[in-house]
Each structure stands twice: as structure tokens, then as C-alpha cells.
A and B are shown apart, each in its own frame.
Chain A
Amino acid sequence: MNKIIEVKDLTKQFAVTSKLGAKTEFVKAVNGVSFDVLEGETLGLVGESGCGKSTTGRLILRLIKPTSGDIFLEGKNINQISDKELRKIRKDIQVVFQNPYSALDPKMTISDILSEPLSIHKVVHKYQYEKEVKRLLSLVGLSEKDMKKFPHEFSGGQRQRIGIARAIATKPKFIICDEPVSALDVSVQSQILNLLTELQNELKVSYLFIAHGLNVIRHMSNKVGVMYLGKIVEIGDVDEIYNNPIHPYTKTLLSSAPIPDPFNDRERQIIKGEVPSPINIPAGCAFHPRCQHAMEICKHKMPFLKGSGSQHKVACHLIDYNEKFRGE
């Protein structure tokens, strides 16, 4: 299977303006991220606020320009291309946003919203627009009667379906789903997740699924990457990571998520302190001030992602120093 998207050492720094307008400090929102997504696969990116997962999504979409690093779409480097070429490849990389209420232009009818990508990327001939819009609407579970309506006439879940229809309109190879269900009610979330899965099977599209809900990520992803302060600390096959987490942060994350079962008695992993500000990322391993198992080396040497078993990589000094720690 070929790689649809490959990301190598992606970084993004933002300047923080302070004190009378001078740019004195920098936020390393994304600090050296590498991964790849195969055809028809879903990579989940999970982490808490400030970890850089949404920024990573935007970098791949080229909505913002990376400070350094490379992004490859089917082997072609899309980081250094001209604006004209960038517009062309936007056909292949689409996005579904978090907020269904602000992602759709309130002054455009559904038909306009869905015809727009068709016309920009010349997906079908002009006279076929209406037919294609109807087809897209049926693919996402809406009726053709909805074509002439405006976004405000729909509920949150329905609007998200329209957003998804818009994303698949250009027959993309890769869709970035940036928290697509976080703003929806629980009973509607499962509908949208099922829709996304169905579409993936039918259209053979790959997803980068960004979310903070660990349960949603587990359901949707084949592979998952756990991010902390701009770096991926653990990445691998989803069942492997959830059943056998190695990085202390992953373990804490998994044990903090509330489980809807009052009879479940599990051990909670304690974590000290608060997430540090992304302006002052700790030296060495960014997680060391909060880690129960922090050692001397963690304070000055940054760990790199290393494979422990195929397709399961962890960035933690513990796997070097304590072979027994693996599998604990």
C-alpha cells in the first residue's frame, strides 16, 4: 500500500507579541512531527490542548506555512510549491471542521455550498452540477429537497453532514477531520462517525482524525499518534497502543478518561502539575517535570521515537533503560 501523506520533521513556530509590540517570544506549536498515512487508512492524532494536533492539521492543509520540515502528497513535496500548484493539489486534500455552525457560509444555499468546489476544481461539467449535488447529498444521508435551503435551517448534525459532503465533493485522496464530532450531541456523534467510516470504505479515502476524545479516536483510527507539547510521544497500531500503552503520558491519558461503567474499578495513573506553557517547553523530554518515572537523563536529553515492536514507536528513555518496562 502506498503512502498518501508523509510528514517529516514538521515544525511550526509562532511569534508571541509582547511589551509594546515587539516579538520577543516564540511558541513552538509543532516541534518536529513525522508520520505517514497509507491509502484507505485513518491516523488518529490525540492530545490535550496546546499539544499541536490542530496546528499539524492546518500545516498539512497548507493553511499556514511550516517553519521547517516536509510534507509529501503521494511522494510529491508540497511544501515548496507555487501558489498555482497549491491550488491544484487542494483538490486532493480536504477538511471537515469542528464547528458546524461557523463552517458553512450562512448566506449560501446548500446547493451553492456544494457546487462551489465542483466548479473550482472542475470536477464535473457545469450542466452536471445539480445532479452531482444531489448525489453528494444522498451519500451523506440528506435529501435533495434540502438543496435550496440555508444552513440555519439545519441542526448541528445535519450541518456537519453538509460539511462532509463538501469535503468529498472534489473526490479527495485525503481528508483532515479536525474534531468533527466534538461540537455535536452524543446521540448524533455516532451517526456522523458511522457516516465517515462508510464513506471511507466506499471512496477509499484516507483520514487524519484529530480529536481529544480517546474513545472516538479508538473507534475511528487504524493507527494513533499521541501528541504532547508539539511532539509525538507514542505512535502505533491503535489496539496495540490502547491495550499496551508504554509512554507514561499515554498511560495517564488513558486512565484519566471516564468510563461509563460504575462497576469498573481501575487503577488511576497520577500525574503531577499542569501542562507547561508552550512558550517554555521544558528541556530534555518535555514531559519530565510531570513524569513519575523521570530519571536524570530525561532532564537534558530529548528522547526520539524508537520502535519497540513493529509499528509501535515510543519517545521515552525508559524503554532503553529498563527492558522490563516494556509491556508493563
Chain B
Amino acid sequence: MSLLEVRDLKTYFYIGNQVIKAVDGISFSVERNETLAIVGESGSGKSVTALSVMRLINPPGKVIEGDINYNNVNLQKLSEKQMCMVRGDRVSMIYQEPMMSLNPAISVGEQIREALLIHKTVPKSESKKRAIQLMNFVSIPEAQVRYNDLPAKFSGGMRQRIMIAIAIACNPDLLIADEPTTALDVTIQSEIMELLRSMKNKLNMSMLLITHDLGVVAENADRVIVMYCGKIMEEASVQDLFRKPMHPYTVGLMKCIPRIDSSVDKLYSIPGYIPHPSQFPEGCRFNDRCERATDKCREKMPELIEIHEGHKVRCWQHHD
């Protein structure tokens, strides 16, 4: 039984008289102790997927249909109060902008302690000690002293560590990381990803890693899902995805990134632009940018089909 199983998730946004199909029918699962990466560009629906799992979608957005099963419990059917018990305790999330995600008026130690107190992980008398332990665990120097400091006194990398401390405070089974390193410098990025990897191992945690950076995916994920315009285009183990990418979008994405270890004169580029979420093309959503598009691609949306073991793709070119 998977730790997290998502089936046919659809999250739509109703803005004015437009319907934005941010997530339009996706299914995936996260096993225990595994890192699943969801990779995509803007408009792909990757962040909305994460927010939908946590039930953090507010109007004008709504989860229209779909099951989100955590340990066989349907999260959609829980009351708000029950959901509050799941959030932060069993399933935690860290966000892209660590400065924005910490309350600027409360000391960092208190914010870590809050997670412990809400979920009654340790008795109140022990909570401060445990919070300091957590700060040490994520390598924040002089934790005892810095417990009372406000977030503004920390650098970006340190703040992300504090967020991680808050997220793992109650030993969750699943950590959702939404672009955790995008706002950080590259040297700090590698430290934070290293920290997340070690947390995952020490705490036997699974991770749902949301990112647009294929480098981060290559170095951290076990399995990968590629999303485009609200749908999953390809799903595979990280080795298979990089060794034998099948979907033209995945292939294009990998080819167009400049490499740090070699140089070319002209970069490959995927023609056209990502369509506006209210104006997806008919048929396969990638057809207007795909070099191999046929008439069938322009008429009918292909299904997500498993071609090799563990490797699924949504493309008519591979459906024979």
C-alpha cells in the first residue's frame, strides 16, 4: 500500500467567467521512503497539486474531483479539524520563499515550538528543549541563543533550515517541498538539498519534491513525474527518464538547458510558448509546440500508458 495515493485529481480555478484547469486529472502515488519529483514549468499545475494534497486550496480554486488517500484515509473526506491534525504532523510542507513563510513578529524558536505544541508531540514543559534540539538537528549554530531571534536576523539559507525544522518537528511520514531551493543561492541550494536528503534517511520520510530544475531532480529524486498544462506527460524512474526520455516535451526540456560542463553554439529551443491556462489547445496540450505532432495529436488527447515497466507516457507517438 502506498503512503500517498492520488487518483484523478482535478483542481479548477474560477476567475471571472473563465475556468482555469490548473490540475486536470492526474494520478500518482508516493511510496514509503521514496522521493517523487514533480517537474514542470509555470502553468503545469505542480504547485497546485501540492496545495491540493494539503487541502490548502481556497476560493476561487476548488478541488472538483479526485481522491487523495494518505495511508488509506481519504483526506478529502476529513473535517477541517481532522485535517488540521494531519497537517504538520503526518504531512508537512516547506515553501519556496522562506522569508515570507515565517511570521516576522515571532521568534524562530517559538515558531518551531508551535508545531510541537499544536500536535502535542511532546509535553509542554519539554517543548522548548525539543525545539532547540531540532535547531541543532538542522545545523543552526548557537541554537540556544538564537532561539529568541526573529526571522529577519537570519540569512535565506538559515531561514529555510528553520522551515525544515518546523516541518519535521513531529516526524511526518511525508514532506512536500515546493521549490525549496529556487530562491536560494547555488551554494546554499546544495547544502539544503543535502540536509533534506539526510533528514529523509534519518527519519524514514518520503518526499514529494516540486521543482522546475532538472538538475535538482537528477540529484535527489527516485521517481519523476513531468507535468505540462495540468496533465502528467511522462512518469518514470529518474534513471529511465534521463537515459530514455520518451515524451517530446521531456526530450525538448532536457535538450534546451545549457550545460555547465560543455558548451554549444546554439541552444535547442522548444518553439512557441506555454499556452494560457484558459486556452489549452484541443487534443494533446503540447501539440502546437511539438515537432512530431500529427493530426491525431491535434484532435484527441492521448492516455497515459505504461510502455516499459514503471515508465508511462502520454503521447500518440508511443502508443503503437
Q: Is the CB of B186 within 8 A of A155?
A: no
Query: Is A49 part of the binding interface, using a Cβ–Cβ cutoff of 8 Å?
Result: yes
Given A257-B260, A262-B239, A262-B242, A194 and B215 contact (CB-CB distance below 8 Å): no
Distance, CA A256 to CA B252, complexed state (A): 25
Band of interface residues on B: 35 or more
- Which residues 253-269 of B sit at the A interface, judged by CB distance below 8 A? 253-254, 256-261, 263-269
Knowing A256-B186, A260-B214, the reply to whether A219 touches B258 (Cβ < 8 A) is yes
Give the contact stretch, choosing among A59-67, A110-118, A168-176, A182-190: A182-190
Partner-binding segment picked from A78-86, A124-132, A268-276, A293-301: A268-276
**A259 contacts partner chain B, Cβ-Cβ < 8 Å:** yes
**B258 A258 Cβ-Cβ under 8 A:** no
B7 at the interface (CB under 8 A from A): no
Cα–Cα distance between A197 and B243 once the two chains are bound (Å): 30
B29 to chain A, nearest CB (A): 21
Known A-B contacts A212-B185, A275-B185; the reply to A260 vs B254 at CB < 8 A is yes
Q: How far is the CB of A156 from chain B (nearest CB, A)?
A: 8
Instruction: Return chain B residues, CB-CB under 8 Å to A155.
Output: 273-274, 276
Interface size class of A (residues with CB under 8 A): 35 or more
B257 lies within 8 A of A257 (CB): no
B218 and A197: CB pair below 8 A? Answer: no
Does B41 lie at the interface of the complex (its beta carbon under 8 Å from any beta carbon of A)?
A: yes
Q: Does B212 contact A (CB under 8 A)?
A: yes
Q: Is B71 an interface residue (CB 8 A)?
A: no
Contacts of A308 in B (CB 8 A): none
Q: By the criterion CB–CB under 8 Å, are A190 and B258 in contact?
A: yes
Asked if B187 and A190 make an inter-chain contact with CB atoms under 8 angstroms apart, the answer reads: no
Q: Tell me, yes or no, whether B132 is within 8 Å of chain A by CB.
A: no
Report which residue of B158, B186, B216, B265 has the largest number of chain A beta carbons within 10 angstroms of its beta carbon: B186
Scoring B residues 221 to 248 as 1 if CB is less than 8 Å from chain A, else 0, what string do you get? 0000000000000000011001100000
User: Chain B residues near A191 (CB, 8 Å)?
Assistant: 269-270
A167 to B265, CA, bound (A): 23
Given A155-B274, A187-B274, A262-B239, A253-B187 contact (CB < 8 Å) = yes
Contact A216 B186 (CB under 8 A): no
Q: Is A13 part of the binding interface, using a Cβ–Cβ cutoff of 8 Å?
A: no
For the complex, is A68 an interface residue (Cβ under 8 Å from B)? no
Asked whether, in the complex, the Cβ of B189 is within 8 Å of the Cβ of A258, the reply is yes
Q: Is A214 an interface residue (CB 8 A)?
A: yes
Cβ of B274: which chain A residues have Cβ within 8 Å of it?
A: 155, 185, 187-188
Give Cα A197–Cα B267 distance, bound, in whole angstroms.
10
- By beta carbon, the residue of chain B nearest A158 is B273
- Segment 181-208 of A: residues with Cβ below 8 Å from B: 185-191, 193-194, 197
State A256–B187 Cα separation when bound (angstroms): 5
A238 cross-chain contacts in B, Cβ below 8 A: 263
Contacts of B273 in A (CB 8 A): 155, 157-158, 188
Given known A-B contacts A268-B190, A274-B158, A193 and B214 have beta carbons under 8 A apart: no
Task: Verify B257–A215 contact, CB threshold 8 A.
Answer: yes
Query: Which residue of A242, A261, A275 contacts B155 across the interface (Cβ within 8 Å)?
Result: A275
Chain A residues positioned under 8 Å from B186 (CB to CB):
48, 212, 214, 253, 256-257
Question: A190 and B267 in contact (CB under 8 A), knowing A252-B187, A257-B260, A262-B238?
Answer: yes
Given A48-B187, A214-B186, A274-B157: A260 touches B218 (CB 8 Å cut-off): yes
Q: Tell me if B264 and A259 are in contact (CB < 8 A).
A: no
Chain A residues within 8 Å of B266, by CB: 194, 197
Q: B213 at interface (Cβ–Cβ under 8 A)?
A: yes
Residue among A189, A219, A259 with most chain B CB within 10 A: A219
Residues of B within 8 A of A306 (CB): none
Report the nearest B residue to A156, measured CB to CB: B42
- The complex places the Cα of A158 from the Cα of B275 at a distance, in Å, of 12
Tell me the nearest residue of chain B to A181, going by C-beta. B258
Closest Cβ of chain A to B228, distance in Å, is: 10
**Residue in B closest to A188 when the chains form the complex, CB atoms:** B273
Check A193 against B155 for contact (C-beta < 8 Å): no
CA distance in complex: A180, B260 (Å): 18
B217 on the A face (CB < 8 A): yes
A3 is an interface residue with CB less than 8 A from chain B: no
Assess whether A194 is in contact with B158, with CB atoms less than 8 Å apart.
Answer: no
Distance A262 CA – B216 CA, assembled complex (angstroms): 10
Output the least CB separation between B150 and chain A (Å). 16
With A185-B41, A257-B215 known as contacts, the answer to whether A216 contacts B256 (CB < 8 A) is: no
**Residue contact A260 to B239, C-beta cutoff 8 Å:** no
Interface-centre pick from A48, A254, A274 (highest chain B CB count, 10 A): A274
**Can you identify 20 A-B contacts, CB atoms within 8 angstroms?**
A185-B42, A186-B212, A187-B269, A188-B274, A190-B258, A197-B265, A214-B186, A214-B260, A218-B260, A219-B264, A257-B215, A258-B219, A259-B218, A259-B219, A259-B259, A260-B215, A260-B254, A264-B218, A274-B158, A274-B188
Residues of A with Cβ closer than 8 Å to B?
Answer: 48-49, 155, 157-158, 185-191, 193-194, 197, 212, 214-216, 218-219, 238-239, 242, 252-254, 256-264, 268, 271, 274-275
Closest 7 pairs (CB-CB, A-B): A258-B215, A48-B185, A219-B258, A260-B214, A190-B256, A190-B267, A185-B41
4 more A-B residue pairs beyond the given contacts A186-B214, A187-B252, A256-B187, with a C-beta to C-beta distance below 8 A: A48-B188, A185-B212, A252-B187, A274-B157
